[in-house]
Chain A
Amino acid sequence: MKSASHPPPLVEKVFLWYCERAMIEDLHGDLDEIFYDNLKRMSLARAKWHYCRDAVSLMLSYSVKKRKSNAAYHPYSQNNSMAMLQNYFKIAVRTLSKQKFFTSINVLGLSIGMSICLLLVAMLSYIFRYDNFHKNGGSIYRVISSTDDSQRNLEHASSPAPIGDLLKHDLAGIGEVVRINKTFAGDATVDNKTIPLSGYFADPSFLQVFTFPLLKGNAQSCLSEMNSVILTESAAIKMFGDKDPIGESITIGEFGQFEVTAILKDHPKNSHLYFEMVAPYESLLAYQRVHPPSEIWKEFRNNYNYFICEDETRLENINGYLSSLANKHYKDRKTFTASFQVQALHNIVPGNDLVNSIGPEWDYSSFAIFGILTLMILLPACFNYASISMSRALKRSKEIGLRKVVGGMRGQIFMQFIVETVVVSLLSLGGAFLIFVLIKGEFISMLANADGISLEPDFITGLCFVVFAIVVGFAAGIVPAVYFSKINPVNAFKSNLPFKALSGTRLRKILIVSQFAISLGFIMSVVIVLNQYRASLNHNFGFNQSNIIDVELKDVDPQIFKNEFSRLSSIESVSMSSGILGTAATANEWVRRDASDSVEVSSMSVDQYFIQNMELSLLAGKTFADAESVQEQNVIVNEEFLKTFRIADPSAAPGVTFTGVDGKEKKIIGVLKNFHYASLRESIGSFYFQYDPTLFQYANLKVSSTDITASFDEMQAIWNTFKTEEKFMARFFDDELADAYSFYFSMIKICGFLGLLAISISCLGLLGMVVYTVETRTKEVGVRKVMGATDGEVLYLLSKGFMKLMLVASIIAIPITYLIFDKVLLGLQTAYPIRVGIVEIVISLIVMVVLGGVTVLSQTIRAARSKPVDTLRYE
């Protein structure tokens, strides 16, 4: 058994590994001696166990720690990292300025790659400073609720109204509680001026809980009077101009008269509360928006409960109380459950995606998508850097070998290369910042919550940028740094580098291929989306779109409008409607026939001339043409409607009745051929026209004139005779339609921009690689030419490898992009996708091959044309 009675090898290895280079021969010997001593007195297993224990106690001992720290420094290395860093920096600047061409390729590539990331960094640094101006910020919480009605699981930012009151009365130790209701919105009128304003109803504690400084008025009493209102500074200027608004009265929509008691300083943009005015919660109660007690716990929308809780340990209590509330009020409902949670102020923005949020929302998921997009641009740029600097290995290996021979350690070589990359990435930050400034405005205009963000760089954002650049430097530099620090000096000097084969040729090929695949994907996206946009506009909507001008009625009476406008000679006919066909402006309703389940249908109110005006084709029955048919219960339906209600024959439909939610009966008098009443995002559903003059919002004028500007002037003149303050708003129907599809434009813009970035980065990477290849093969080219090769043959030889790479990239990218668009994306955007055809693919391919080809040929042509005399003298 002699062979087995050794100390446990694993423990021994761990011990030696842990001690690194420390001198621990004696300790190791002590361990062994004790082990063999123990073997004489106890079983092998016990001895091993003791050995293990002793080894651990040694590893934890001061003795090993001290010996390790004694051994940590190499005799040559001084513990003065600042001087070393300075030296790294100096070397980096020298190397970079010596290789100006590669440095500029790298800087350009990284600038492009980082530019879009700066947008993300600036956004994040702003969003994470949301709501940081509240003095009590750390102790403000709100109650959020989640509901489950067996069909949908919803997370609300809001919670039922009574919770605020109950919290205040039932819980000891809770600070101020404030209820907020966001339905306070309407047209505010002062004298003759009307401006839409929106804001909150809130308890008087609003100003104590949140920090919104007052410019005028008393913070204690300004919300205590029933019909008082506080305005923000900008709202007050809009309404009252230079006049002192305190004490003035203002009429707000349906809510009646309010007296201005205070003026708030405009709240900062980074506030999740977004309002122009605040009125006491009591006035909401007075306005009788309160639900009966049985319903009040079912109303989750629009009501928010905030509270202050100084003591975090009490939150447990509050949570417990809230769940007892939920149990009490939702226990007897089988199909509906709800629960309440407490959310801290700093978790609101950025936060989880909640429905019915009180102000601008920034949820994590959209950041994740944006983050992935930016990474798709940044990563190739970093790869480029790594690949270009590794391709310089041949030139730099001698330098590294020399450094190692005179005592440079691996860690120091590593740091040298990292510092070099960080210098490059800091230089790129300058370029990236320029691009950032250029695209910032455009980017903000594409955001849904543009009001809630500012990308003006401030000190903190700038700091984030620098930190980001350094991180990018590390990320891009780590691969070359590890690679170079590994170089064996002996091989480096011999110059027959065994790692030449290893110098990442295959890796770089993969990188080039993946970059071009991404670029091709973006180019294809642009082409496909453009095509879809064109197709949407030229789609046969099933009605007449040309020569129709839509005019917003505003507050003009439809009858007067019609009488006046019909007189114009350029106008053939005038019809009225509640919305515009082909956009999304229809009303949705639930109707049923007999006792069947109700079905969701869309509807629009039109007058008797509309169907004729739009050239919709009637299949059966009649239109609203005569006085008898112009009745409120009469409707004209589309074919799809009949299908839903299982009426096979259109001619059987007239006379059929159905019931709406309000219990009113409706009678079908006509059937129309299917047409696209809504946007092409949705497929044609059940739809009906009804006649309800109170709902008319648009006049549709059919014009015959050829001189459009003149007729517009005439119309403007007539409009001016109406007693209205509103502006004359008229647009061509086809323009409205084009507007409805403008979301394609932002898609094209985004894809186009990303594509531009991706393809420039790929071309830069390719350029770097081509230059390197051409440089290393200069002599070969010379010899070939001396032996009789023609320019064309040399050109083919040098370029074919790169062209092959692009071919591989397109073989990868085309099917993936095709699948993504054909099967997924277009299906989400439109119900009538255009199939991705061969033409789009060929166009994208040509774009990419031309760009890549120009990059490659720009270098190889020069090499091919060069005189062998010069090339052979090279080096």
Chain B
Amino acid sequence: MKGYLGEFEELVLLTVASLGEDAYGVSIKGDIEQRADRSISIGALHSTISRLEEKGYLKSWLGDPTQERGGRRKRFFEVTHDGKVALHEVKTLRDELWNISKANLDLAK
């Protein structure tokens, strides 16, 4: 496994994947805030994105200038193949653990 994937990193990667073509700073932030019902700072988000780029899980490119951003370009993100592998590994690990501990995790009990 190539590096450790933190909880927030996993969240960001999955969100980027879920947003598809439209994954850039503000949209990722909005999506996470809405779905996870937690407030995140733009600085923390970009820090995480930079680290994920360093690890090779994300790649980015600049889009076209847009009016509402004062003519500035957006930077779009996409999950790389390595990123996908890492997400799968995390999921496999989780699934295994869930299978083993299912009986003990029953909420009804």
Residues of A within 8 A of B (CB): 25-34, 36-37, 53-54, 56-64, 66-67
Q: Does B26 contact A (CB under 8 A)?
A: yes
In-complex Cβ contact of A57 among B41, B69, B70 (8 A) = B41
Q: Which of B67-81 contact A (CB under 8 A)?
A: 68-70, 72-75
In-complex Cβ contact of A63 among B49, B68, B72, B73 (8 A) = B49
Apart from the given pairs A29-B70, A30-B26, A34-B29, 18 other A-B contacts in the complex at a CB distance below 8 Å: A26-B72, A28-B72, A29-B73, A30-B74, A31-B42, A32-B70, A33-B69, A54-B41, A54-B42, A57-B42, A57-B44, A58-B43, A58-B46, A59-B43, A62-B46, A62-B50, A62-B51, A66-B54
- A37 engages B43 (CB within 8 Å): no
Q: Does B47 contact A (CB under 8 A)?
A: yes
Residues in chain B near residue A37, CB distance under 8 A: 26
Instruction: Provide the bound-state CA to CA distance between A63 and B47, in Å.
Output: 5
Residues in chain B near residue A29, CB distance under 8 A: 66, 69-70, 72-74
- The contact string, 1 if C-beta is below 8 Å from chain A, for chain B 15-28, is 00000000011100
- A34 engages B42 (CB within 8 Å): yes
In-complex Cβ contact of B43 among A26, A33, A61, A66 (8 A) = A61
- A26 engages B25 (CB within 8 Å): yes
Distance (whole angstroms) from the CB of B45 to the closest CB of chain A = 8
Given contacts A34-B26, A63-B50, contact A25 B73 (CB under 8 A): yes
Distance (whole angstroms) from the CB of B58 to the closest CB of chain A = 12
Instruction: Provide the bound-state CA to CA distance between A58 and B41, in Å.
Output: 8
Q: Does B90 contact A (CB under 8 A)?
A: no
Total residue contacts A-B, CB cutoff 8 A = 73
Residues in chain A near residue B42, CB distance under 8 A: 27, 30-31, 34, 54, 57-58
Chain B: which residue is nearest A58 at the CB level?
B43
- A61 engages B26 (CB within 8 Å): no
Q: Which of B57-103 contact A (CB under 8 A)?
A: 62, 66, 68-70, 72-75
Residues in chain A near residue B66, CB distance under 8 A: 29
Distance (whole angstroms) from the CB of A387 to the closest CB of chain B = 49
Instruction: Provide the bound-state CA to CA distance between A34 and B45, in Å.
Output: 14
- B74 engages A26 (CB within 8 Å): yes
- A32 engages B69 (CB within 8 Å): yes
Given contacts A25-B72, A28-B72, A33-B68, contact A61 B47 (CB under 8 A): yes
Instruction: Provide the bound-state CA to CA distance between A425 and B80, in Å.
Output: 58
Residues in chain A near residue B68, CB distance under 8 A: 32-33, 36
Give 15 A-B contacts (CB < 8 Å), ordered by A residue.
A25-B72, A27-B25, A29-B72, A30-B26, A32-B68, A33-B69, A34-B26, A54-B42, A57-B41, A58-B43, A59-B43, A62-B47, A62-B50, A63-B47, A66-B54
Residues in chain A near residue B49, CB distance under 8 A: 63
Distance (whole angstroms) from the CB of B34 to the closest CB of chain A = 13
Residues of B within 8 A of A (CB): 24-26, 29, 41-44, 46-47, 49-51, 54, 62, 66, 68-70, 72-75
Distance (whole angstroms) from the CB of B66 to the closest CB of chain A = 8
Chain B: which residue is nearest A31 at the CB level?
B42
Residues in chain A near residue B54, CB distance under 8 A: 66
In-complex Cβ contact of A26 among B24, B41, B44, B51 (8 A) = B24
- B73 engages A60 (CB within 8 Å): no
- B72 engages A61 (CB within 8 Å): no
Distance (whole angstroms) from the CB of B102 to the closest CB of chain A = 38
In-complex Cβ contact of A53 among B29, B41, B46, B69 (8 A) = B41
Residues in chain B near residue A36, CB distance under 8 A: 68
Instruction: Provide the bound-state CA to CA distance between A58 and B49, in Å.
Output: 12
- A57 engages B43 (CB within 8 Å): yes
Given contacts A26-B75, A61-B43, contact A66 B24 (CB under 8 A): no
Chain A: which residue is nearest B46 at the CB level?
A63
Instruction: Provide the bound-state CA to CA distance between A54 and B26, in Å.
Output: 12
Given contacts A53-B41, A57-B42, contact A33 B26 (CB under 8 A): yes
- A60 engages B74 (CB within 8 Å): no
- A26 engages B47 (CB within 8 Å): no
- B43 engages A63 (CB within 8 Å): yes
Instruction: Provide the bound-state CA to CA distance between A58 and B75, in Å.
Output: 15
Instruction: Provide the bound-state CA to CA distance between A54 and B43, in Å.
Output: 7
Q: Which 8 A-B pairs have the closest CB atoms?
A: A57-B43, A29-B72, A26-B75, A61-B43, A29-B69, A63-B46, A62-B47, A30-B25
Residues in chain B near residue A34, CB distance under 8 A: 26, 29, 42
Instruction: Provide the bound-state CA to CA distance between A806 and B68, in Å.
Output: 67
Chain B: which residue is nearest A34 at the CB level?
B26
In-complex Cβ contact of B73 among A26, A31, A67 (8 A) = A26
Distance (whole angstroms) from the CB of A288 to the closest CB of chain B = 79
Residues in chain B near residue A64, CB distance under 8 A: 46
Residues in chain B near residue A56, CB distance under 8 A: 43
Distance (whole angstroms) from the CB of B60 to the closest CB of chain A = 8
Residues in chain B near residue A30, CB distance under 8 A: 24-26, 42, 46, 69, 74
Instruction: Provide the bound-state CA to CA distance between A56 and B73, in Å.
Output: 21
Instruction: Provide the bound-state CA to CA distance between A67 and B47, in Å.
Output: 11
- B73 engages A66 (CB within 8 Å): no
Residues in chain A near residue B62, CB distance under 8 A: 25-26
Residues in chain B near residue A61, CB distance under 8 A: 43-44, 46-47, 50
Instruction: Provide the bound-state CA to CA distance between A200 and B18, in Å.
Output: 88
In-complex Cβ contact of B46 among A25, A27, A33 (8 A) = A27
Residues in chain B near residue A25, CB distance under 8 A: 62, 72-73
Instruction: Provide the bound-state CA to CA distance between A54 and B46, in Å.
Output: 11
Residues in chain B near residue A57, CB distance under 8 A: 41-44
Chain A: which residue is nearest B28 at the CB level?
A30
Instruction: Provide the bound-state CA to CA distance between A60 and B47, in Å.
Output: 9
Interface centre among B42, B44, B54 (most CB of A within 10 A): B42
Residues in chain B near residue A58, CB distance under 8 A: 42-43, 46
Distance (whole angstroms) from the CB of B18 to the closest CB of chain A = 19
Instruction: Provide the bound-state CA to CA distance between A29 and B75, in Å.
Output: 9
Chain A: which residue is nearest B50 at the CB level?
A63
Interface centre among B44, B46, B51 (most CB of A within 10 A): B46
Distance (whole angstroms) from the CB of B49 to the closest CB of chain A = 7
Chain B: which residue is nearest A54 at the CB level?
B42
Residues in chain A near residue B29, CB distance under 8 A: 34
Chain A: which residue is nearest B75 at the CB level?
A26
Instruction: Provide the bound-state CA to CA distance between A102 and B95, in Å.
Output: 81
Residues in chain B near residue A31, CB distance under 8 A: 42
Given contacts A54-B41, A61-B43, contact A66 B50 (CB under 8 A): yes
Instruction: Provide the bound-state CA to CA distance between A29 and B71, in Å.
Output: 8
Residues in chain B near residue A33, CB distance under 8 A: 26, 68-69
Instruction: Provide the bound-state CA to CA distance between A29 and B70, in Å.
Output: 7
Residues in chain A near residue B24, CB distance under 8 A: 26, 30
Distance (whole angstroms) from the CB of B6 to the closest CB of chain A = 13
Distance (whole angstroms) from the CB of A128 to the closest CB of chain B = 46
Distance (whole angstroms) from the CB of A184 to the closest CB of chain B = 71
Instruction: Provide the bound-state CA to CA distance between A56 and B51, in Å.
Output: 19
Residues in chain B near residue A32, CB distance under 8 A: 68-70, 72
Distance (whole angstroms) from the CB of A76 to the closest CB of chain B = 25
Interface centre among A36, A53, A62, A67 (most CB of B within 10 A): A62
Chain A: which residue is nearest B51 at the CB level?
A62
Distance (whole angstroms) from the CB of A613 to the closest CB of chain B = 96
Interface centre among A28, A31, A58, A63 (most CB of B within 10 A): A63
Distance (whole angstroms) from the CB of B31 to the closest CB of chain A = 13
